[in-house]
Chains A and B, each alone.
Chain A
Amino acid sequence: MIHKYELNGYRIVTDTNSGAVHLFEELPYRMLDYLEDKVPAELPEALASALVPEYGAEAVQEAYGELRELQEQGMLFAEDDYAQFAGMMKGSPVKAMCLNIAHDCNLRCEYCFAAKGDFGRGRMLMPLEVGKKAIDFLIERSAGRHNLEVDFFGGEPLMNFEVVKQVVAYARSREKECNKNFRFTITTNGILLTDDKIDFINREMSNVVLSLDGRKEVNDRLRVRVDGTGSYDAIVPRYQKLVAQRGKDRDYYVRGTFTKYNLDFTNDVLHMADLGFDEISIEPVVSDEKLDYSIKEEDLPAVFAEYERLAKVLIQRKKEGRGFHFFHFMIDLNQGPCAIKRLRGCGCGNEYVAVTPEGDIFPCHQFVGDDRWKMGNVLDGTFDLQEKEQFAASNVYGKEDCRHCWAKFYCSGGCNANSWQYEGDILKSHRISCELEKKRLECAIMIQAALAE
């Protein structure tokens, strides 16, 4: 399977099953229109009669020879023999956990998927005992996995920061005896960030996600406090302080959401870069199409054009020596993860679970609040292995749409919770998310082409 597209003056061809990415001149690129799934030994008649008059026999033979060579090297029309690995996800250890340390929030962001912080289950903070039991559960269920991830999430995790600190201390106290390495992350809206919290986060958290939507007027339209006032002025200086004090080897992301209200989101990304942040993520809102701020099918052309604009600006800034990382355009064409990782999917409900303040286990944070998906509880030790197997099957070979998609090894199958919520089935694909992901990938690959020049 191949995917070919033209963008920013480049003719790009990706070969799905080998992972090879090529830049084509016009003639071989046009030849692909006459080839289905292989480059036959003999020049196809239709191809020759269409292109020889225009380009000449010699040039056509030469280009065709190059296509044949790539095919022989396994870098064009490579066979798909990965389905044999799809069953490997069964029985996977649990290695990552979203710890919903606070089902409460001090903001009331319009688009919040967590029902403005309480997931529709009532406002509650996680007791320390539940946090400790969750760590025990993760250690016990992780079998031979050495690296374990815990993401402090909410709601707003800084509303229960003492418990965060104590859970970290407890997990660290068990690392050596259990031969585990904990990697902690935290996602915050910044309202309660203080110097001591910044110190702790920068010391203990391998990654921190700082929520900000970009320009003040954009951020303050939807990211509002309980009284309706905006959050921008309070959080930006705190984020700048945290990032300034953070070690260069430690990850962080300033992360925002764009909606129909700011389809010119490149300006928000650049605003964040100009604030001094160089690790930036801005995501399309995922929401019911009936809501005013939703990204709808009709908005896709505008969003695609904006991603292209952002990609071009990013190339320009990189060439000027003032580049920054835009998370969704980051791609490693040479040393990314192995194919097994790529076909595993997100691992939700299988390698990754979420735990609520009550100790309830859900496939991930996005399923929290829908009791149909409850998998067990860390206090009573229950864990539904049948449901776990159901999620293990939710990989790119378990999903019909993904199996035939050129982007499957870049994307890995999308968000199961979005598929459930908007398509009614974890094995289906959320169409708008897929279209956006494919566009981002096209831009990301094009940037690599531009920077390789």
Chain B
Amino acid sequence: MKQIKTLNTVNLKESAVKGGCGECQASCQSACKTSCTVANQKCERNGK
């Protein structure tokens, strides 16, 4: 493509079907626990 550049190869929909194991870190979003925005968390399965 000439006029559009895509930054990532993510497919969230695929991840919905394969995901949900629940082993990853809880993502408390209160400021006092430093607002764990989910997007900055890791998938527990990555790197295994």
Contacts and interface: CB of A to CB of B under 8 A. Distances in A.
Given A19-B12, A283-B35, A338-B20, A415 B7 contact: no
Contacts of B7: 21-23, 333, 448-449, 452
Contact of B42 (A183, A333, A337): A337
- Contact-residue bracket for chain B: 35 or more
A407 B31 CA distance: 18
B35 to A, nearest CB: 6
A364 B28 contact: yes
A23 B12 CA distance: 19
A415 B32 CA distance: 11
B1 A69 contact: yes
A69 B2 CA distance: 12
B6 A20 contact: yes
Interface string B26-48: 11111111111111111110100
B36 to A, nearest CB: 8
Contacts of B29: 345-346, 411-415
Contacts of A411: 29, 37-39
B3 to A, nearest CB: 4
Nearest to B40: A330
A24 B42 CA distance: 28
A137 interface: no
Contacts of A151: 33
A283 B26 CA distance: 19
Contacts of A255: 34
B9 A346 contact: no
Interface of B: 1-13, 15-16, 18-20, 22-44, 46
Q: What 3 pairs between A and B have smallest CB-CB spacing?
A: A338-B19, A340-B20, A96-B26
Given A338-B19, A347-B26, 4 more contacts: A331-B40, A335-B46, A339-B15, A342-B12
